Chain A
Amino acid sequence: MIDDVLSIEHLTVAITASSQGKTVVSDVSLSVGRKEIVCVVGESGSGKSVTSFSIMGILSYGLAPATGSIKLLGEELIGASATRMRKLRGLRMAMIFQEPMTALNPVMTVGDQIAEIFRYHRPEMSASDVRLRVRSLAEDVRLPDPANIVRRYPHQLSGGQRQRIMIAMALALEPALLIADEPTTALDVTTQKQILELICDLVARRGIGVLFITHDFGVVAEIADRVVVMRSGSVVESGSAHDVLTQPQQAYTRSLIDAVPGSKLPKARDVADHVVLRVENLSKTYGDSSGLFGPAHNTAPALLNASLSLRKGEILGIVGESGSGKSTLARCICRLQTPSSGDIWLGDINIARMHENKLRNYRKAIQVVFQDPNRSLNPRLRIGETLVEGARNFGASARVASERSRRLLDLVGLDDSALDRFPHQFSGGQRQRICIARALASEPDILVADEAVSALDVSVQAQVIELLEDLRQRLGLAIIFITHDLRVAGQLCDRLIVMQSGRIVEQGPTGRLFDSPSETYTRELLAAAPGREFLASARKA
């Protein structure tokens, strides 16, 4: 198999400090050929990133390959000297990462970060040659205005532009292997689509092999030639993309494919006519007050004339890319921010500009669940303490509050033993359940879920979505579900609002919006969702 760019055989990675030889990756074999995209799919903790770091020789402190072989163009990497590995990194293999903001050095210009690869791998190149190469690389990854963009710092670029810089950097020395570790997970769908296209294009033009790590079978359906499915450090299934997608042999693979949001059609549901929330012409402009020194900052409104209504037991999805104003809208509705103008009617009371003192009584009617369950629970409070806090705040006695917290845990599918434990003792999905229980503690009419499932694995995502659906039915809860992922929204929401640049572009029942979107932007968003053709065919089947 000399044609293989990469071939891994029986790789096992162990925790060096563990005397029992505890492993995080065991007996993994896979290969990547020229012009081939191999997707490694798995949930967090499946060992897919550890495998890729072993190839690059950049495993973090405390992990080391124990047995097996990794061959890059026939050269054995395990046991290779540090100097040799350093040479190979960049030259023969390169890697791009999930979060292009943190993967780039914030205090160096992006051009310098590309240039330094040449400086250390090709010391013979003159400074002007390096400059030319950097520019042509920026053109290769289709960055706008390459001459100027290379002089910027990472924070001055958009997420997609930063990922393009990462790709330019990876391609600098024309490596044979590109390892892409969830490179589009942190990007908007339309940007994701462009980056995926760029990678496919580079494979075709340059003949590189790509090891693409993802948790999203939608992405797999878009780009993969072959698929390797990993779970708990081992390969559970591998084969051609078509075979694995259409005839998965393992139940686990099947469940991952099924968990891709949007593989099920949203059901039409009856919703009561009782309107619990009405928002009229809500606008918000940040930094619109003039300072003591200097003129007022004239910033564009983050939210402009948004109007919507929400009925009891309804799930309303707000969809949009970053910067579309969806989070601002949510924060204004919860009055975490004060809107610049417009009305928010809770029944017949307008809370849009209500003073903080009076607002307190209405806060319990609207509760929020945030994106990252790891950061929205106080790490030093036991779950029990977190859960009673809200109820105690609004005057419930200690006994009533603790009784209620037990019921809440039961409601979100956790048992009593959770009360005495700390947040770090739970998994991400369990923590998000706790966050939901916390939000429900004050018995709200409206739950605002701000990207509440975006940080979770697909299978966990599906469970939390099921939970929200269940709560809506049992409690008649009205839910505002904010997401950048149209597929998730499609699966859960009765009605959708599509936002772009602070405005509501389109709104309507989910089925109607998916089948016959009237706005171009909605169509673009729908078209950009990865795996849509595959999902469409799966739905028909």
Chain B
Amino acid sequence: MVRFLFRRLLSIIPVLAIVSIIVFLALRLGPGDPAAILAGDSATPEMVAAMRAHLGLDQSLPQQFLHWVVQIAHGDLGRSITSNQPVTTLVASRLQPTLALAIATIIFSILVATPLGVLAAWRRGTWVDNLASGGAVIGFALPAFVTGYLLVFVFALKLQWLPVQGFVPLSEGFWPFGRHLVLPTLTLSTIYIALITRVTRASMLEILGEDFVRTARAKGLPERVVLFRHALGNSAIPILSVIGIGIALLLGGVVVTESVFSIPGLGRLTVEAVVARDYPVVQGIIILFSGVYVLINLAVDISYAIFDPRISY
């Protein structure tokens, strides 16, 4: 197990190396010039060139790359071209909203979707199943901006129960923090609830046909124990996998939701940085995310071993 952890953590290094090369090249080979954007519309070619030299963009690509890698190795992700703030500071300031939204979404989705999927499988073919399965299709089909504005319209504008948009840090009290988080969480959760419900249902349907489920019933166990302990316990692996993938996708999916609700999180920071061709910020965020992806994968693999004693590393 220790060796497995060590090997997997080591694997972060090649992943980051490959990701950094791809990101670095993609940004520079793509259209758009940060120097031109920064210098403004009325800048002369000389001014743009001067700006480019100032930013170090006049160096050859290998030189720029080497410079950047050495920087990262020192734990420095560089400074933003537009705001001149350190990338680490920028990311840190945007971390809390995204993290709060992501965690709330995952927890809420799991709590709603797993029992829903179990119920749908148990009552296969009945109205409960049809409702859950039909709901899942709608959940997949609805884009986040539609769900978001619908929820805002009903709960914020009509009923006026919840704020329309914005984010309040936890330091200003749990109540305002929580109230601002409800609608974005609901919005972002739709697709995850749909996804996890479908997978739970499918996985449960397979397991419910297994012999040990029949054994559990033959032992005279209550149906909830048969379902949740025996069947769900054995359906865990595919569900965990999809939750893991869900968390990874979440980091991308959060962009639209953050825009709808004007939440100053990492998603919006990414969009702003890409639009401004703010190379260091984009690079920094992507490196950070890819590190997180590797860790999520590792966490999922470890959770397999926790749920299934037959798996060991």
Which residue numbers of A lie inside 8 Å of B, CB to CB? 56, 58, 61, 86-91, 94-95, 97, 99, 102-108, 116-117, 120-121, 153, 155, 166, 169, 293-294
Residues in A whose Cβ lies below 8 Å from that of B211:
97, 99, 102-103
Task: Answer yes or no: B307 CB below 8 A from chain A CBs.
Answer: yes
Q: List 25 A-B contacts (CB under 8 A).
A: A58-B217, A90-B218, A90-B220, A91-B220, A94-B218, A102-B211, A103-B215, A104-B215, A105-B212, A105-B230, A105-B233, A106-B212, A106-B234, A106-B310, A107-B234, A107-B309, A107-B310, A116-B225, A117-B221, A120-B221, A120-B222, A121-B220, A293-B3, A293-B7, A294-B3
Nearest Cβ on chain A to B217's Cβ, whole angstroms: 5
Residues on B with C-beta less than 8 A from A89 are 217-220
B272 at the interface (CB under 8 A from A): no
Chain A residues closer than 8 Å to B206, beta-carbon distance: none
Give the CA-CA distance A97 to B211 in the complex, in Å: 8
A286 to B310 alpha-carbon distance, docked (Å): 20
> B residues within 8 A CB of A116?
219, 221, 225, 229
**Residues of chain A contacted by B124 (CB below 8 angstroms):** 61
| CB neighbours of A294 from chain B (8 A) | 3
The distance from the CB of A472 to the nearest CB of chain B, in whole angstroms, is 38
Question: Closest approach, in angstroms, between the C-beta of A174 and any C-beta of chain B?
Answer: 13
Q: How far is the CA of A61 from the CA of B212 in the complex (A)?
A: 16
B58 within 8 A of A: no
**What band does the interface of chain B fall in when counting residues whose beta carbon is under 8 Å from A?**
20 to 34
B76 CB–A CB distance under 8 Å: no
Please give, as numbers and ranges, the residues of chain A lying within 8 Å of B210 by CB-CB distance: 102
Q: Which residues of A contact B220 (CB under 8 A)?
A: 86-91, 117, 120-121
> Chain A residue with minimal CB distance to B307?
A107
Q: What is the bound-complex CA distance between A105 and B230, given in angstroms? A: 7
Contact B218 A155 (CB under 8 A): no
Q: Which residue of B lies closest to A101 (CB)?
A: B211
Q: Report how far A58 CA is from B214 CA in the complex, Å.
A: 7
Given A120-B222, A120-B225, A105-B216 contact (CB < 8 Å): yes
Contact A103 B225 (CB under 8 A): no
- Across the interface, which residues of B come within 8 angstroms of A120, CB to CB? 220-222, 225
* Closest beta carbon of chain B to A77's beta carbon, Å: 13
**Closest-CB distance, A56 to chain B (whole angstroms):** 6
Considering only CB atoms, which chain B residue lies closest to A102 in the complex?
B211
User: Which residue of chain A lies nearest to B3 when distances are taken between CB atoms in the complex?
Assistant: A293
A91 to B217 Cα, complex, angstroms: 13
In the complex, per-residue mask of B14-38: 1 if CB is within 8 Å of any chain A CB, else 0: 0000000000000000000000000
- Answer whether A97 and B215 are a contact pair too, CB < 8 Å, given A102-B210, A107-B233: yes
* B contact residues around A107 at 8 Å (CB): 233-234, 236, 307-310
**Cα(A95)–Cα(B212), bound, Å:** 12
Task: Among A87, A88, A105, find the residue whose CB has the most chain B CB atoms closer than 10 A.
Answer: A105
Instruction: Report yes or no: A108 in contact with B225, Cβ–Cβ below 8 A.
Output: no
Within the assembled complex, what's the spacing in Å between the Cα atoms of A91 and B220? 8
Interface string of B246-258 (1 = CB under 8 A from A): 0000000000000
- Taking CB atoms and an 8 Å cut-off, the chain B residues in 257-300 that contact chain A are none
Give chain B nearest CB distance to A216 CB in angstroms. 20
Q: How far is the CA of A354 from the CA of B97 in the complex (A)?
A: 63
Question: Within the assembled complex, what's the spacing in Å between the Cα atoms of A103 and B217?
Answer: 11
- In the complex, chain A residues whose CB is within 8 Å of the CB of B7: 293
Whole-angstrom distance between the Cβ of B242 and the nearest chain A Cβ: 18
Complex Cα distance, B309 from A107, in Å, reads: 6
Chain B, residue nearest A105 (CB): B212
Interface residues of B in 199-219 (CB under 8 A from A): 210-212, 214-219
Q: Across the interface, which residues of B come within 8 angstroms of A88, CB to CB?
A: 220
Of listed A104, A107, A117, residue having the most chain B CB within 10 A: A107
CB distance from B255 to the nearest CB of A (A): 38
Indicate whether A103 sits within 8 Å of B234 (C-beta atoms), given known contacts A89-B219, A120-B222. no
**Are A90 and B219 CB-contacts (below 8 A) given A107-B233, A155-B310?**
yes
| Chain B: minimal CB distance from A147 (Å) | 19
Which residues on A sit within 8 Å (CB–CB) of B221?
Answer: 86, 116-117, 120
Cβ of B119 to closest chain A Cβ, rounded Å? 16
Give me 16 other A-B pairs in contact (C-beta within 8 A), A105-B230, A106-B234 excluded: A58-B214, A94-B218, A95-B215, A99-B211, A103-B211, A103-B215, A107-B234, A107-B236, A117-B219, A117-B220, A120-B221, A120-B222, A153-B309, A153-B310, A166-B215, A293-B7
Q: Nearest 4 pairs between A and B by C-beta?
A: A90-B220, A89-B220, A102-B211, A105-B212
- Given known pairs A106-B308, A116-B225, the reply for A169 and B219 (CB within 8 Å) is yes
CA distance A166 to B309 in the complex (A): 19
Give, as a whole number of angstroms, the nearest-CB distance from B69 to chain A.
27
In the complex, residue of chain B having the shortest beta-carbon distance to the beta carbon of A117: B219
Give A429 to B230 CA distance when docked, in angstroms.
Answer: 35
Q: Please name the residue on chain A nearest to B215 by beta carbon.
A: A103
Cα-based distance from A99 to B214 in the complex (angstroms): 12
Whether the Cβ atoms of A108 and B215 lie closer than 8 Å is no
Assembly CA distance A88 to B218 (angstroms): 10
Q: B212 to chain A: which residues have CB within 8 Å?
A: 102-106
Residue of A nearest to B230 (CB): A105
With the chains together, A86 CA to B216 CA distance in Å?
Answer: 11
Residues of A within 8 A of B234 (CB): 105-107
Q: Determine if B230 and A97 form an interchain contact, defined as CB atoms under 8 angstroms apart.
A: no
Min C-beta distance of A62 to chain B, whole Å: 10
- Least distance between B59 CB and chain A CB atoms (Å): 40
B4's nearest neighbour on chain A, judged by CB, is A293
Shortest Cβ distance from A121 into B: residue: B220
- Chain B min CB distance to A94 (Å): 7
Compute how far the CA of A383 lies from the CA of B308 in the bound complex, rounded to whole angstroms. Answer: 39
Q: A residues within 8 A CB of B3?
A: 293-294
A502 vs B251: C-alpha distance in the bound complex, in angstroms?
54
Measured between beta carbons, the chain B residues less than 8 angstroms from A121 are 220
Q: How far is the CB of A161 from chain B (nearest CB, A)?
A: 16
Distance (whole angstroms) from the CB of A256 to the closest CB of chain B: 26
- CB within 8 Å for A97 and B233 given contacts A90-B220, A107-B308, A121-B220: no
Name the CB-closest residue of A to B213.
A105
Once the chains are docked, how many angstroms separate the CA of A155 from the CA of B222?
A: 25
Distance, CA A91 to CA B7, complexed state (A): 51
Complex: A58 Cα to B208 Cα, angstroms: 13
Selected from B214, B222, B233, B236, the residue in CB contact (under 8 A) with A108 is: B233
Cα distance A155–B234 in the bound complex, in angstroms: 14
Which single residue of chain A is at the shortest CB-CB distance from B236? A107
A86 to B223, CA, bound (A): 9
